[in-house]
Structures are given as structure tokens and as C-alpha cells.
Amino acid sequence: MFDRYVVVDWSANSTPKLGRDSIWIAVTGAAGHSVRNLPTRAAAVAFLVDLIDAAATQSTLLGVDFSLGYPAGTARALGLDGTAWSATWELLARMISDDDRNANNRFAVASDLNARLTGGAAPFWGCPPNRAGDHLTPTKPAPTGDLGSWRTVEAVLRSQGRRPFSSWQLLGAGAVGSQSLLGVPRLHRLRARFGDRIEVWPFTTGLVAPAPIAGSVVVAEVWPSMLPVDDVDGVVRDAAQVTEMARWLAEADREGRLGSLFEPQLTASVAEIAVAEEGWVLGVSQGVT
């Protein structure tokens, strides 16, 4: 299906950083395998732009390890019109400021979104004490409003004994909420730059296997923690995880299994929510028959 497999371990650092808990990008294809460690989100996007620009004759699967959507009802609670996922992406792209040195306003944006969503300090939570206020707290507050803590795919993973994190949690070991707030606007601008060359599964493709053509890019949410990775002295775990995920996707493609990962077994109601707002994680199935 694809010529190249790129997996990105994103970061919400507020200053440039290399090594553990920074940005790692694995690339696997006919030219071999490589891993890059980049200190800023701006540098990571520039790297991806160069990859896409240089791939006019290649198709690329781009896996990102942050949530591409929010629990069903979020867009409605924000008063957004149009397709839920797209309207949310546009809103975040307008609100988030994230400069070339990683300085960003994600906690202020989360606070503003909480005020719009519930009028309280939920559903987003987790911040340094000096960023706390009426609409954002360092620790998880009591539930407020009708929005759930989990997307359906996260609930499925939890039912399978996995431990995903909620899109609402912004801070803490393993949290992904900040990565989503800062990653979605970057993807939104990539799509604006490259237009029809970039599809986002399952939002623009539906829950079907894409038919990539030369120069096309399919973005999908991945969860590298679903694959076992051994700890090796001198190897940063983040680097090992993106490497393993990229190679796993390439192997699934070679063996003819990749297409089925884009077509998970979901009930009709869950599939509708996944395509309209929540998104899904590549390789996870609800297991319906």
C-alpha cells in the first residue's frame, strides 16, 4: 500500500529539548531505516515538510502518537458548526500559539476551552501550580458537564487491559493532552500547505483502507505503547518505540495485513462517532462480530 512509513513521537516541551521525552521520528522504506531526534516542534514540522516535498513519487503513511480527536459532543459543547473534527482542528489552529523555540500558550488555551465547555475547571486538567486558575487545576477535578473522560477507542483499550491516557490530561508522566493541543494545529497547517496530498484517517478517508497514490500522505493516530519494546542500555525508549512501530507497519504491509488495520471491527454507532469527531487508533479493534 505504501512506499514509506513515518512514525512521530511528539512532545509538548516548552523549551528545546533532545533525548528522553523529546521528539523522535522514525522513517522506514526502501532506502532503509533512520531515526531523527529533533529539539523543537518547528524543526520536526520542517523535517516532515522536506520528507513530503521529496516524495513526489512515493506514498507515505504518517503515524502520530497523539489524539486526533476529542470525546463525542466536544464540538457541540464548544458551539462549533460544521463537521466536528474539522471545526475543532480549525479552532485549535486559531487559538494555539507555538513558536520556533517551543514557547506556547497551551495551558491558557485549555483554560479558555474549559470556560466554554463547562464554565468550570473541566474537562481539561493538569498544569503547573503557577498556571492554575478558576478554569484549570493541577489535579483532576470532579466531573462537570456531559463530556466523558474517554474517547471510545480509549474505552476499548481499557477494556482490553491497556492503560491509555485521556485527551483531557495535560500534564504528568504519559499524558498526551498537551501533545494533542500542540500537534493538531501543526497537522492542520500541513494539510493547508499540501492540500489533497494529505488525508487523515478516518476523518477524510472513512474507516476503509486507503488507496494511496504517488506523492500522497495518509495521517493516522498510532499508539506505540501497544507494541512490546525491550529496554536496551544506551537506547532511548522513545526512539525504540517509534522504530518498532514503523517496522511493524511496514511488515504488516508486506504481509498484506495493513489494509485490515484501517478497517477495524466497530459497531455502526461507534464507527459514525469515530469518523465524525473522535478518530481511532490504527491497529485497535472493538472486536464486534
pLDDT value of residue 288? 59
* 116 pLDDT tier (thresholds 50, 70, 90): very high
The answer to whether residues 25 and 36 touch, using CB atoms and an 8 Å cutoff, is yes
User: What value does the mean pLDDT take over residues 252-267?
Assistant: 96
Q: CATH code for 4-67+179-278?
A: 3.30.420
Please confirm whether the linkage preceding 123 is cis (ω < 30° from 0): yes
The rounded distance, in Å, linking the Cα atoms of 89 and 84 is 9
- Rounded to two decimals, the pTM is 0.96
pLDDT value of residue 289? 44
Residue type at 78 in one-letter notation: L
Classify residue 168 by its DSSP letter.
T
First to last CA, the chain: 26
Residue type at 83 in one-letter notation: T
Residue type at 5 in one-letter notation: Y
Cell numbers linked to 142: 470532579
pLDDT at 144 over 80: no
User: What value does the mean pLDDT take over residues 200-215?
Assistant: 95
The rounded distance, in Å, linking the Cα atoms of 251 and 255 is 6
Q: Report percent pLDDT > 90 for the chain.
A: 89
